[in-house]
Amino acid sequence: MYLTVDKGNTRMKWALFEGDRLVRLSETGEPLPREGVERAIVCATGALELESLGLEAERVTVLTADTRLPIALDYATPETLGPDRIAAACGARCLCQGRGCVIVDAGTCITVDYLDAAGVFRGGAILPGIEIKFRALHTFTAKLPLLTTVDATQEPVTGRTTREAMEAGVLTATRFAVEGFVAHYREREPGARVLLTGGDANWLWGEGRLRVEDCVWEPYLVMIGLNEILKENER
């Protein structure tokens, strides 16, 4: 059994895999039992005490760009490439079965990355996430309120109140940006599939907001990718 740990900017997730099957998940940060775990892999955007995993260090892989991967990295500064982006691309390679992929990870930041059909990570874009944008409007102005996706009641293109204008500037503009990047990457590879993940992906996915074809919401994409990396390193 493999243990995968994803420590993001705002939360920590744990998952146990038997082969390709996800058998247990914790999205609250609460550790999972380690009985029967043969190997573990950690994807951390910040510091993490490996002792908290309760496993011998030699049984734990800390994901970096130097880790053996089931994909290739065409990235000028691989040492700066976030491990979450690497893991999501490895998960996309598994799920897309040799097709090109556009990977949209809507977390604290939103990343839109392109993995071609040959399994080469070609890079992408990093955007401020939805909550960051709302907070910036409130923090750096004198009168604009603090909104969140929970507060937002609609997604207007043209706001007719200050609140609607803020929602248009954040929510609609976020959707337009993602759709624009998808269109850009599909100019290179028309058959590329779109995979959504991350805490705000449910907002993009819900009510038909993201207007792109061949789009799949996979909330556990990073975990799937981490499992694929462990399998690659056991071969």
**Residues with catalytic annotation?**
84
Comparing C-alpha atoms, which of 186, 187, 188, 235 is closest to residue 215?
186
Comparing C-alpha atoms, which of 229, 222, 227, 232 is closest to residue 45?
222
Comparing C-alpha atoms, which of 221, 229, 224 is closest to residue 62?
229
At position 169, the amino acid (one-letter code) is G
Q: In what side-by-side order are the strands of the sheet with 72-73?
A: 72-73, 120-128, 109-115, 101-106, 193-197, 215-217
Tell me if residue 203 falls in helix, strand or coil.
helix
> Nearest-5° angle of CA 96, CA 227, CA 65?
85
